Amino acid sequence: MLSEERLLWQLSQAGYRVTRPRRAVIRALLQDGSYASPAEVWERARAHCPTVGLVTVYRTLDLLAGMGFVRRIHADDGCHGYAAAEHGHRHHLVCRVCGATVEFEGCDLSRFLAQVGRDTGYIVEDHLLELVGLCAACRPQGPDNKGEGK
């Protein structure tokens, strides 16, 4: 999992200033391990830096996404949130009830992506895989479901 210190170090190494507002945005994003909308990140960040602006939140999230440290998560309502991401090819499993986000590796879509390229004429350069469901804490109880649930 990414740490605040590692992200700040990476920003600094890439030539970006490590400002108090950026530090607050990173801390807010990493706070609970789930995805968060920019507005939620802004609310959390204001606890660490009351002067942080919403524009700074968006710019910082976009910067971190461009560097590969944050992934955009698409929510049911069409709005996207953001979740911290390790470098490398990863995907997300998102709980549609509580927003808990789990990163996972391993998807062999190479034949599928090659077929899509042949069918459409595209050169497929990358892909995103996001699975949405119910985490162990949120799934229904019952004999067919393992775990406690809500």
What is residue 23's three-state secondary structure?
A: helix
Give yes or no: residues 106 and 121 share one domain: yes
Please compute the mean of the pLDDT values over residues 82-101 and round it to a whole number: 75
For residue 120, pLDDT over 80 is answered with yes
> Would the pTM of this model clear 0.75, i.e. be above it?
no
Please provide the distance, in angstroms rounded to a whole number, between the alpha carbons at the two ends of the chain: 27
Of 35, 67, 87, the position where a domain reaches its end is: 87
Could you count the other beta carbons within 10 Å of the beta carbon of residue 96?
13
CA dist 17 to 13, 59, 127, 139, Å? 9, 13, 31, 43
- CA 67/CA 36 separation, integer angstroms: 18
Per-residue pLDDT at 119: 95
Give yes or no: residues 40 and 76 share one domain: yes
Domain count, the chain: 2
- Say if strands 91-95 and 130-133 run parallel, antiparallel, or are unpaired: parallel
CATH value at residue 116: 3.30.1490.190
Of 87, 109, 142, the position where a domain reaches its end is: 87
Q: Which two tokens stand for residue 127?
A: 């892909």
What is residue 100's three-state secondary structure?
A: strand
Average pLDDT, the chain: 83
Sort residue 75 into left (φ over 0), alpha (ψ -120 to 50) or beta. beta
Q: Which two tokens stand for residue 58?
A: 């968006």
Q: Which residue range(s) make up the domain with 64?
A: 1-87
Per-residue pLDDT at 130: 77
Give yes or no: residues 27 and 99 share one domain: no
Give yes or no: residues 65 and 111 share one domain: no
Q: How confident is the model at residue 71 (pLDDT cuts 50, 70, 90)?
A: confident
